[in-house]
Amino acid sequence: MINEVAPAQTAGSFERIQCQWCQSMNDKSALSCGACGAPLDIRNVVSESGWREAPRIRDMTEIHFNASTCQVEGEIVPTAEINLGSGDSIFFEHHVMLWKDEIVPLSVMPMGGGFKRVFAGMPFIISVANGPGRIAFSRDAAGELVVLPLHPGMELDVREHAFLLCSHNVAYSFVRVKGLTNILFGGQGMYMDRFVTSNTPGLVILHGYGNVFERRLAPGESIIVEPGAFLYKDASVTMQVEFQKLGSGIFGATTMSLAKMTGPGRIGIQSMYLHHKTE
């Protein structure tokens, strides 16, 4: 569905272009989508196995949400520079901040289950920045920004420590998934962040390590993903941890944990796994 028509040919009678990444409508003269920053004049890059590359956002592209704008700067480790409008706010993990205007106030998001996660050894604090003013974010390794505008009534699950920032009108919670960690790191399980929109649209920006690919699974269609590759999924995609035994005479069996994802819905993966040690 994604790669059928080149975007320029979808313009209807009112001369609008639909973004193939986030489905937002854009002015015909626009070069990039105003809601997600995806270039509109470049055809989607889809592999034969059905993975679509996340759009490579051009340097200095502007993205609009509520009364705020986000400008994406740089390409190898992109920076998201937010110009917060008055009354807007965004939340994020505090360590992804790169710079800010002095006037932008910071606060901590009150969270019910948050203590448990801190107790598990993670310095986990969600910070909130209120407009007006500028604040910029980046993560710590080569990768791509994945801009996911959320329509009302959407639920999105994201791997822990993958989201860069999120607009304030999105509800945030997290769940713990057992067994879902690369066996190299002891298989202690991981958290998954959940973003839910109610009546208003929202914006989530993720940072995927390496390259990011997305695929839409049909109902009942399954794919097996290495846990380190998982980046995000629609809440309608179910995840099941599977153990693959690799027998070996002398050492006994090594077990490999894999995540089986079953549609319907989108699933996003990253090609590089950077493990954030949880001490």
Partner 1 sequence: MFCSQCGTPVPVGSFCSSCGARVNDAPPPPPLASTPEPVQQPAAVPASVQRAQSMVAPQPASAQVPQTGAQEKCQWCGALIDTGSGAMANCPSCGAALKARSTASLAGWLEMPPRKDMAKLQFGNSSCQIEGLYVPVADMNLAPEDSVYFSHHVLLWMEPKVNISAMSMKGGWNRVFAGMPLIMTQAQGPGHIAFSKDEPGEVIALPLHPGQAIDVREHMFLVATSNVQYDWFQPQIWYQVRAGKETETHYPVGPFMDRFSSPARPGLLLLHAGGSVLVRQLAQGETILVKPTALIFKDPSVQMQLHFEHPNAGTINWGYWTNRCIWLRLFGPGRVAIQSVFERVEQEGGSIVSHSNATTWNW
| Smallest separation, CB 224 to partner 1 (Å) | 5
Q: Does 206 bind partner 1 (CB under 8 A)?
A: no
What whole-number distance in Å separates Cα of residue 139 and Cα of residue 154? 25
Which range in 130-138, 141-149, 152-160, 165-173 contacts partner 1 by CB under 8 A? Answer: 141-149
Q: Does 182 bind partner 1 (CB under 8 A)?
A: yes
Could you give the 3-state DSSP secondary structure of residue 97? strand
Q: Does 48 bind partner 1 (CB under 8 A)?
A: yes
CA end-to-end span of the chain: 43
Q: Which of 54, 98, 86 has the alpha carbon at shortest distance from 208?
A: 54
Q: Does 8 bind partner 1 (CB under 8 A)?
A: yes
**Residue from 12, 23, 27, 45 in contact with partner 1 (CB under 8 A):** 45
Q: Which of 23, 226, 37, 235 has the alpha carbon at shortest distance from 145?
A: 37
Cα dist from 259 to 181, 223, 243, whole Å:
10, 8, 9
Rounded to 5 degrees, what are φ and ψ at 273? -110, 115
**Residue from 4, 14, 219, 246 in contact with partner 1 (CB under 8 A):** 246
Q: Does 211 bind partner 1 (CB under 8 A)?
A: yes
Give the count of residues interacting with partner 1 (CB under 8 A). 46
Could you give the 3-state DSSP secondary structure of residue 29? coil
**Residue from 21, 51, 65, 124 in contact with partner 1 (CB under 8 A):** 51
Residue numbers 159-178 binding partner 1 by CB under 8 A: none
Q: Does 223 bind partner 1 (CB under 8 A)?
A: yes
| Smallest separation, CB 16 to partner 1 (Å) | 19
What whole-number distance in Å separates Cα of residue 133 and Cα of residue 78? 20
Cα dist from 221 to 145, 239, 257, 272, whole Å:
27, 12, 20, 24
Q: Judge contact between 165 and 137, C-beta under 8 A.
A: yes
Nearer residue to partner 1 within complex by CB, 122 or 183: 183
What whole-number distance in Å separates Cα of residue 150 and Cα of residue 157? 12
Q: Does 218 bind partner 1 (CB under 8 A)?
A: no
**Residue from 25, 30, 97, 272 in contact with partner 1 (CB under 8 A):** 272
Interaction site with partner 1 (CB under 8 A): 6, 8, 41-45, 47-49, 51, 53, 76, 141-144, 182, 184, 209-211, 213, 222-226, 228-229, 244, 246-251, 254, 256, 258, 260, 269, 271-274
